[in-house]
Amino acid sequence: MEDSLMIRYLGDSPKLRIIDYLLYFPLNDFTKKEILEAVGMSKQTFYKHFGQLIEEGMVAPTRRIARATLYRVNKQHPVVRKLDELVEETSLKMAESEKQRMEKKVPLAVRAR
């Protein structure tokens, strides 16, 4: 799987990988096991950093189903908001650059049609 913009530009840290995954699905909530499997890190690393994200308020529990607690990214947290804005702005800049690059490749006669 290709790294996301956040991981490519900010580095591949466990916390960023968890936040990145949860930001990709901002309306979904997940069990710890689902997140752990998706981000692909050791249990020890995951639980250490996931606990810190909960303490910092960047990830919040949403509900319980039987004995499992589900979690979601806290989009109201200032750091999460900034990370989300950074990824959006970077995506837009990359799209604009790609558009300009593609326009240079298309001859003017073709564009005029």
Domains of the chain: 5-112 (1.10.10.10)
Per-residue pLDDT of the chain (113 residues; tens, 9 = 90+): 577 878 887 888 999 999 999 999 989 999 999 999 999 999 999 999 999 999 999 999 999 999 999 999 999 999 999 999 988 888 888 888 888 888 777 665 555 55
Helices 32-39 & 43-56 angle (0-180, nearest 10): 120
DSSP string computed for 51-109: HHHHHHTSEEEEEEETTEEEEEE-TTSHHHHHHHHHHHHHHHHHHHHHHHHHHHHS-HH
- Residue 30 DSSP symbol: B
- Residue pair 87/6 in contact by the 8 Å Cβ criterion: yes
